[in-house]
Amino acid sequence: MKKVNFKLVNILLLLLIIILAIFVLPNISGYLGQAFSALLPLIIAFTLAYILNPLINLLQKYKIPRWLGILIVYTIVTIFFVYLIWGVLKPAVDSIGNISVGIENIMIEIGDILNVDTTSMSSYIIGLVDEIIIEITNFFTASGGTVGQVWNTIISGAVVIVVGIIFLLNFPRIRQRIKEYLTITVKHKTVSFVRTLDNELTNYLVAEIIIAAIQALEYGTLMLILSIFFPEFLVFVPLVALVAAVLSLIPYFGGYFSILFTAVIVMTVPSAAYGMIAIGIFMLIFPQLDAYVINPKIYQTKLNLNPISTIAFVLLGQAFFGIIGAILSVPFQVVLEVTMQYYKDNIKSSIKKINEHL
């Protein structure tokens, strides 16, 4: 009987995977996207439950029943999101109508400084901005064919709340069952790995909350100071703080996007050039302070991550998967580093075996 040539088998399997990736994935990517969109509310619900679970556990320590703690927390979260939509976003959208005039004014001022005609560039930018504003306005007013989109958003939000509550109610039971299953079916090392991974991801969430709070405070304070000289900016203070907090999820580079968004808001006033000077001064200090001092210190303290490798993960995530990839780059790095730490010897052994068969 002939001996199996494992080297040839491995090469054929590798070629088969490459062929499938080239010819099959493009044909099913649409279905995968639809499946992901359908499951997205469940993913968000579980993620939100995972984030809120430590808070529920804290409330239980103060003798508050779990069901009551969940009800209190979800009521606060729901009120907060309703406030964000109708108390922050809606007033900001209603007040942002002057942004076209602001862009035109600042482009004229730039043209005067550089002695160039900026009319065509100004028209192009204003066209893009007006299109975005119309889409946002249509969503809030359920007009322009967005009724279905609004209803889908409401239904998805309801699913997130209901399923999230169910997850939180059963979280201790889910954790216990997973622990029992892993204890029976796998080695102690794997149980320790899962526990460490859970702890590290919790630390990541704590780090992100701290960073988001810091950046929201920075950019909210900037807009508050500007509103002293330009009162029309006061309505944008919560919006800018919120956007800065969300963009802080992009490690190291989120501050620059926050600056860009703040600059767009500043363009809504006729004397935009003065506001842009303040933005320029702010940009020279705070994004660098966040990116190279505050954020690395928090990541290093909470997660013990190397700043250079984190930046590399962010760049790769953004290059392959866009903004979502940039946001998910750090948790992916956490998972990868914990896995490498626990299974370094196993991985080296597997690589050695593969090399022997190639």
Q: What is the pLDDT of residues 143-171, one digit of tens each?
A: 666 666 767 777 888 888 888 888 888 88
Q: Highest mean pLDDT range out of 46-60, 80-94, 120-134, 146-160?
A: 46-60
Over residues 260-318, the pLDDT tens digits come to 778 777 776 666 667 777 777 887 787 777 777 777 777 777 666 777 777 788 778 77
Q: What is the pLDDT of residue 93?
A: 66
Report which residue type is found at 253: F
At 255-269, the pLDDT tens digits run 777 887 787 777 766
Reply yes or no on whether the pLDDT at 213 is more than 60: yes
Q: Pick the more confident residue, 19 or 348.
A: 19
**Average pLDDT of the chain to the nearest whole number:** 76
Q: How many CB atoms lie within 10 A of CB 44?
A: 16
Euclidean distance between CA atoms 210 and 197, whole angstroms: 20
pLDDT at site 272: 63
End-to-end CA distance of the chain: 22
Gyration radius (Cα) of the chain, Å:
25
Q: Output the pLDDT for position 4.
A: 52
The answer on pLDDT for 333 being more than 70 is yes
In the predicted structure, residue 173 carries a pLDDT above the cut 80? yes
Amino acid identity of residue 337, one-letter, is E
Name the H helices within 186-271: 188-229, 237-247, 254-266
- Tell me which of 188-192, 198-202, 218-222 is least confident: 188-192
Percent of the chain at pLDDT > 90 equals 0
Average of per-residue pLDDT across 85-97: 68
* pLDDT beyond 80 at 222: yes
Higher pLDDT, 93 or 336: 336
Structure tokens belonging to residue 8: 């040839």
Task: Give the whole-angstrom CA distance, residue 238 versus residue 234.
Answer: 8
- 358 pLDDT band, cuts 50/70/90, is low
Q: What's the CA gap between 220 and 234, in Å, rounded?
A: 10
Cβ neighbour number for residue 228 with a 10 Å cutoff:
9
Residue identified by tokens 């169910």 is: 166
> Which residue is listed with tokens 């969300």?
246
Specify the pLDDT at position 278: 78
Query: Does residue 6 surpass a pLDDT of 70?
Result: no
Give the residue with greater pLDDT, 251 vs 60: 60
Kindly report, residue by residue over 94-132, the tens digit of the pLDDT.
665 566 666 676 677 677 777 777 778 778 777 777 777
Token duo for residue 154:
């409401």
- 218 vs 31: which has the higher pLDDT: 218
